[in-house]
């Protein structure tokens, strides 16, 4: 999904200091990238790049680090990233094909078992998610809980079996265990809201006393978990759930839905402030709430109130510059502003300012796609064709990001896109930021270079 790379989510990793093995503390990670989308691979820990390597002519790379703390890392082959758990002495080969990034990935070598297991859990739960959404959320709370517990227990049993055979370190085991448990607990945090939608109830279902029993085991302070994706996702839902239920109780409002974003998000800030004391996790959660709130486009006045509260609770947040920049980018996209000064390239390789794209007095709808996201390209092309039929008064202009000229041209040909309506953005980060492309169907409507709607959506605005 576009948003995954656009806000370069810091959903990263863990630091752990296991016992050291003086004989072979070096860690090797290498392998082959089929259909590369970048010329290098970067190994990260948390938000810090540890090392990187360029691909050679056979698309192979090698990273060797003399000494590395045990723990969760991730490697980035732009725009995709993937977690990898590393311990001293590990020597891992990776093979992956960017056309189906996660599905194609295979680890081999020392350290393969825990990594392949984690990957399998990730892919499995991704598949289950559809069933959970389509079939489980309608169930009554007890049956829902029982279904999820059984899925979760089955995976933990597999982990325990592997643990007996392979003897993972405690840190590796704990991390894999947390990946499983938190993933399913996330569904439980969301259940009351999703159940209401799935069952057309007007109110939230009352829950049995032990529905949230797992909350006793939730950690708010384990630095090993801070960058673990299933844990972080859980925390977001958990805080959201607590904020909503807490508001119902404390503010005595008959709230059934979040209608006042400022009010709800201030509850979220207050909860993070009181519950979470691990600094990185705290900063990251505050950041997520701020960014999500900003993207709701509450009034500028409310935004100032929110930011004041934010600064009071998180004065030294490491993400303040990013949040300030996003706030400014959003202001720049308000109606009646000129389009940001961005340059695109046409099929002849000539540069144009975005605001100068020929339009013959028409309103232009800019939409976005990218080479590595072909499923999205297919969907958005279909959607644009529908819109062209029903709303021919607009001109639809596609901006392609993260793709080189040759691939761009060949994709235009395969999807029968009119090159006259297509442009290439050479610097996608600049584009993604300036036009705040946070949703795959995000679009910008402009006329004569002036913004009419900076936050349109191809699926909902027409």
Residue numbers of the site for Zn ion (CB under 5 A)? 247, 251
Q: Tell the smallest beta-carbon distance from residue 267 to Zn ion (Å).
A: 5
Q: Tell the smallest beta-carbon distance from residue 187 to Zn ion (Å).
A: 25
DSSP for residue 207: -
Place of tokens 């006793």: 216
Q: Tell the smallest beta-carbon distance from residue 247 to Zn ion (Å).
A: 3
DSSP for residue 205: P
Q: Rounded to whole angstroms, how far apart are CA atoms 274 and 277?
A: 8
Q: Burial letters for 431-442: b for 16+ Cβ neighbours within 10 Å, e otherwise?
A: bbbbbbbbbbbb
Closest Cα to residue 205, out of 190, 219, 224? Answer: 190
Q: Which is nearer to Zn ion, 275 or 434 (CB)?
A: 275
Q: Tell the smallest beta-carbon distance from residue 257 to Zn ion (Å).
A: 13
Q: Rounded to whole angstroms, how far apart are CA atoms 396 and 415?
A: 15
Angle between the N-to-C axes of helices 112-131 and 141-166, in degrees from 0 to 180, rounded to the nearest 10:
170
Q: Which is nearer to Zn ion, 1 or 251 (CB)?
A: 251
Phi-psi region of 224 (alpha: psi -120 to 50; beta: other; left: phi over 0): alpha
Q: Do the Cβ atoms of 230 and 182 come closer than 8 Å?
A: yes
Q: Which is nearer to Zn ion, 102 or 253 (CB)?
A: 253
Q: Which is nearer to Zn ion, 50 or 262 (CB)?
A: 262
Angle between the N-to-C axes of helices 300-313 and 320-332, in degrees from 0 to 180, rounded to the nearest 10:
180
Q: Tell the smallest beta-carbon distance from residue 204 to Zn ion (Å).
A: 15
Q: Which is nearer to Zn ion, 267 or 442 (CB)?
A: 267
Q: Tell the smallest beta-carbon distance from residue 277 to Zn ion (Å).
A: 23
Q: Tell the smallest beta-carbon distance from residue 259 to Zn ion (Å).
A: 11
CA dihedral 439, 44, 425, 431 (to 10 degrees): 50
Question: Residues 6 or more apart from 63 whose CB is under 8 A from it?
Answer: 28, 29, 30, 41, 43, 51, 52, 53
Q: Which is nearer to Zn ion, 151 or 247 (CB)?
A: 247
Q: Do the Cβ atoms of 224 and 174 come closer than 8 Å?
A: yes
Q: Tell the smallest beta-carbon distance from residue 234 to Zn ion (Å).
A: 23
Q: Which is nearer to Zn ion, 132 or 247 (CB)?
A: 247
Structure tokens at 184: 């399913």
Closest Cα to residue 7, out of 294, 338, 375, 269? Answer: 294
Phi-psi region of 31 (alpha: psi -120 to 50; beta: other; left: phi over 0): left
Q: Which is nearer to Zn ion, 116 or 260 (CB)?
A: 260
- Beta partners for 71? 86
DSSP 434-454: HTT--STTEEEEEETTEEEEE
Q: Tell the smallest beta-carbon distance from residue 306 to Zn ion (Å).
A: 14
Q: Do the Cβ atoms of 63 and 70 come closer than 8 Å?
A: no
Q: Which is nearer to Zn ion, 213 or 251 (CB)?
A: 251
Q: Which is nearer to Zn ion, 146 or 251 (CB)?
A: 251
Structure tokens at 130: 């559809």
Q: Tell the smallest beta-carbon distance from residue 296 to Zn ion (Å).
A: 17
């Amino acid at each position: 999904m576009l948003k995954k790379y656009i806000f370069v989510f810091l959903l990263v990793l863990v630091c752990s200091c296991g016992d050291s093995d003086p004989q072979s503390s070096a860690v090797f990670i290498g392998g082959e990238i089929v259909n590369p989308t970048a010329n290098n691979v970067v190994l990260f820990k948390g938000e810090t790049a540890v090392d990187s390597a360029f691909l050679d002519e056979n698309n192979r790379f090698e990273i060797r680090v003399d000494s590395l703390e045990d723990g969760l890392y991730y490697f980035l082959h732009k725009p995709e990233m993937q977690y990898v758990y590393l311990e001293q002495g590990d020597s891992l080969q990776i093979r992956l094909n960017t056309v189906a990034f996660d599905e194609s990935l295979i680890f081999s070598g020392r350290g393969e078992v825990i990594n392949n297991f984690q990957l399998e859990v990730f892919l499995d739960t991704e598949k289950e998610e559809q069933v959970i959404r389509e079939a489980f959320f309608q169930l009554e709370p007890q049956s829902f809980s029982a279904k999820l517990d059984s899925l979760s227990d089955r995976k933990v049993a597999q982990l325990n079996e592997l643990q007996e055979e392979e003897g993972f370190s405690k840190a590796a085991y704990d991390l894999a265990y947390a990946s499983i448990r938190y993933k399913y607990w996330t569904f439980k945090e969301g259940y009351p809201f999703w159940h209401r939608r799935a069952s057309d109830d007007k109110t939230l279902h009352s829950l049995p006393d032990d529905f949230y029993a797992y909350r006793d085991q939730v950690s708010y302070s384990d630095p090993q978990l801070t960058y673990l994706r299933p844990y972080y996702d859980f925390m977001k839902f958990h805080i959201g759930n607590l904020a909503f239920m807490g508001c119902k109780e404390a503010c005595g409002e008959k709230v059934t839905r979040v209608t006042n974003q400022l009010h709800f998000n201030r509850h979220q800030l207050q909860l993070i402030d009181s519950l979470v004391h691990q600094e990185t996790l705290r900063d990251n959660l505050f950041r997520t709430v701020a960014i999500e709130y900003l993207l709701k486009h509450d009034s500028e006045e409310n935004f100032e109130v929110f930011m004041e509260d934010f600064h009071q609770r998180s004065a030294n947040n490491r993400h303040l510059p990013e949040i300030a920049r996003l706030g400014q980018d959003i202001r720049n996209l308000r109606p009646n502003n000129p389009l940001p000064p961005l340059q695109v390239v046409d099929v002849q390789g000539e540069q144009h300012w975005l605001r100068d794209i020929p339009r013959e007095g028409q309103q232009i709808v800019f939409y976005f796609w990218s080479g590595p996201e072909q499923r999205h390209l297919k969907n958005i092309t279909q959607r644009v064709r529908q819109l062209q039929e029903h709303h021919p008064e607009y001109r639809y202009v596609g901006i392609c990001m993260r793709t080189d000229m040759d691939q761009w041209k060949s994709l235009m040909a395969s999807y029968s896109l009119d090159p006259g309506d297509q442009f290439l953005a050479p610097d996608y980060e600049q584009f993604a930021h300036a036009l705040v492309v946070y949703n795959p169907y995000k679009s910008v409507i402009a006329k004569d270079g002036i913004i009419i709607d900076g936050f349109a959506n191809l699926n909902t605005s027409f």
